[in-house]
Amino acid sequence: MRALLVYAQFPKTYWGIEYGLRIAGKKASLPPLGLVTLAALLPSSWQLRLVDMNVEPLRDEDLAWADAVLVGGMHIQGDSMRVVVRRAKALGKRTIVGGPGPSTAPEAFPDADVVFGGEVEGREQELIALIEGDARGVATAAGAQALVRLDKTRRPDVKTSPVPRYDLLRLDAYTSMSVQQSRGCPFTCEFCDIIEIFGRLPRMKTPPQVLRELDSLYALGWRGSVFIVDDNFIGNVREIRKLLPELARWQTERGQPFEFYTEASVNLAKEAGLPEAMVQAGFSSVFLGIETPSAASLEVAKKLQNLKLDLTEAIDRLTRAGLEVMGGFIVGFDTDDAGAFAIQREFLARAPIPLAMIGMLTALPGTALWRRLQAEGRLRSQGIGDAFGRPNFATAMDEEVLLSGYASLMRELYSIDGYLARCLAHLDRAPARSRSPRLRAGWQRILLRSLWHLGIKSPRRRILWTLLAKVAQRSPGHVAWAFEKAIQGEHFLRYTEEDVLPMVARALAELRAERSREPVAAPPPARVRLRIAQPAT
C-alpha cells in the first residue's frame, strides 16, 4: 500500500508568521505532528510519503503515486482539504480525511471516501481496513461515505502512542518542532473545542516516553525551538512536576539543545515553584488564554479559572520568573458592549505581552457555545466563517459597533508604538541575561537578513533599533530575543495593516450596505454593565 499523507494549506494567519518566515529562511512555523504520529501507527510494510502544503506544493505526480490519500487539518484548513480531496478523487484515489476539522464537523467533507473522527491510537486496525477498502474489495457501496464519528466515550491511553515519524519531515523548513505530552483539559470554557475532541481528563505520556521523542529529534539533528503542543500543559500539575526535572537533566546532559514553549492556563502563576522549574528545564515562553479582563464575560464564557486570581499580577509573576507571556484575547461575548474595547485597551497598555492576539468570538462546531447559539436560533453559518469578517452568529453587541471597535483596537495594538511598548514592558520585568542562550545553526545568515530587511528596508525599522538599544543598556543576553521580536513584529504589524484591517473594512461595508436596504430596527436592549475581573476571596 502506498499512502500519501497530505497536510492541508493554512491561509495567512497571525501565528503563521508568514511575513517573517522569509527573513528566518524558513517555509512554515510548525510541522504536522498529527500526521507524523499517524504515520508511526500505520503498517511498517507500507510505503509512505508526506507533503506539507505549507512547505511545498502538492504535485499531480504525488497523487498519481499513491493508492490512498490521507488528508489532515483543522477547520481553518478546510477549504484546502476539500481541494485536495477533489484532486485525488479526479485521479481515482481513495481519500481519507481526519484531524480536528473532520472530527467536529464531518458534514463539511462530503466528497471524502472516509471521514475518520477522533484519535487513532487503539483504532489502528479500523482505520487501516478503511484505507485498504478498495484494494481488498470491501469498500462501502458505490458513492457511499464511510463515516467514523468522534466517540467521546473512548479516549485512548496516550502511553500507547508511538514516537512520531519525524524522519518524514523536511526539518530545515520549519522554525520549530512539535512534541505532545498530554491531551485534554480539565476546564469548561464554552467556546473551546479541545474538551470536545480530547475530553476533560488530561491523559499524560510518561517522562521516559517524552524523552524518547526528544531523543528522536536530537538524533535527526534538530536544534532550537520545540513547541510542547498540549492545549494545557499543566492540566495535571502533579505529573508535570515529575516531568520537569527529567527534562532539565536531559537538557543539561546534551548542552541545552532545545528551547521549549507551550500553552497553559493562567493558574500556572499560582503554582509555587512551577514557573521556575519550567525555566530550569528550558522553557522560554508560554501562551495563556486570558480572553478578557471583564469578570462578566469570563463568567458567561465559563472561563472560571481566570476569576480566581488577579490577571495582571499573574502575568507579572510569570514574566519575572523568566517566561515570556503570549496572550489570547476575545471580544464579542454576549456581555460585552462598546466599553469592552476600552477595557482590553487599558489592560494591554500595562501588560508585558509582546504577542497579544485579540480575535472576535467565533462559534466552533461541536462546542458548548455552538450548541447554545444553535438552540437560541442565532447561528448564521454552519462553518466557522471568516475570522476577520462577519461573525458566524448573531451577536448581542451591535455588529457594526463590534467590527468598528475591533478594527480600532487592532490598529492601536499593532502600531509601532503599541507593539514596542509591550516589548519594552516585557524587557523591563524579565530577568536580565549576561549571555545569549545557545543559538541555532545558521544564526549568522538570519542576523544579516534581519539587519537588511528589518533594520534598513522596513518602514518598521524603529522596532529593531529601539529593542537593540534597550537590550544593550539593560540585558545584553537578550540580543537574539530582540531580533526574534523584530521578525515577529514585522509579521504581526504587516498582517494587521495589509490583511486584517482591509478584511474588517470589507465586512463593515457589506454590513452597512445590507442595513441601508433594511427598515430602521428597534433600539437594542440595555447591556450588562462590565466590571474588571478581581480574584476570588
How confident is the model over 28-40, as a mean pLDDT? 98
Tens of pLDDT, residues 56-65: 999 999 999 9
Q: Is the pLDDT of residue 184 over 80?
A: yes
CA 460 to chain centre: 26
Tens of pLDDT, residues 355-402: 999 999 999 999 999 999 999 999 998 778 778 999 999 999 999 999
How confident is the model over 396-409, as a mean pLDDT? 98
How confident is the model over 196-216, as a mean pLDDT? 97
What was the pLDDT predicted at 426? Answer: 97
Q: What confidence tier does 266 reach under pLDDT thresholds 50, 70, 90?
A: very high
What was the pLDDT predicted at 529? Answer: 41
Q: Is the pLDDT of residue 485 over 50?
A: yes
Q: Is the pLDDT of residue 100 over 60?
A: yes
257 touches 214 (CB < 8 A): no
Q: Measured between alpha carbons, how far is 344 from 348 in angstroms, rounded to an integer?
A: 6
What was the pLDDT predicted at 436? Answer: 72
Q: Could you tell me which CATH class the domain 176-362 is placed in?
A: alpha beta
How confident is the model over 5-14, as a mean pLDDT? 96
Q: Is the pLDDT of residue 312 over 50?
A: yes
What was the pLDDT predicted at 524? Answer: 53
104 touches 118 (CB < 8 A): no
What was the pLDDT predicted at 528? Answer: 42
Q: What confidence tier does 342 reach under pLDDT thresholds 50, 70, 90?
A: very high
Burial class (CB in 10 A: 0-12, 13-18, 19+), 40: middle
Q: Is the pLDDT of residue 139 over 60?
A: no
What was the pLDDT predicted at 444? Answer: 82
Give 167's contacts (C-beta < 8 A, 6+ positions apart). 220
What was the pLDDT predicted at 433? Answer: 87
> Between these two residues, 53 and 24, which has the higher pLDDT value?
53
Q: What are the residues facing 3 on neighbouring strands?
A: 48, 68
Q: Is the pLDDT of residue 532 over 60?
A: no
How confident is the model over 508-521, as a mean pLDDT? 86
Q: What is the 3-state secondary structure (H, E, C) of 30-48?
A: CCCHHHHHHHHHCCCCCEE
What was the pLDDT predicted at 523? Answer: 52
Q: Which of 466, 495, 471 lies closest to 481, judged by CA?
A: 471
Tens of pLDDT, residues 301-311: 999 999 999 99
CA angle 517, 523, 525 (to 5 degrees): 135
Region(s) of the chain under CATH 3.20.20.70: 176-362
Half-sphere exposure of 421 (CA within 13 A, CB side): 15
At residue 302, the 3 state secondary structure works out as coil
CATH for the stretch 2-148: 3.40.50
Region(s) of the chain under CATH 3.40.50: 2-148
Cell numbers describing residue 47:
510505503
357 touches 327 (CB < 8 A): yes
Q: What confidence tier does 134 reach under pLDDT thresholds 50, 70, 90?
A: low
What was the pLDDT predicted at 383? Answer: 77
Tens of pLDDT, residues 410-431: 999 999 999 999 999 999 999 9
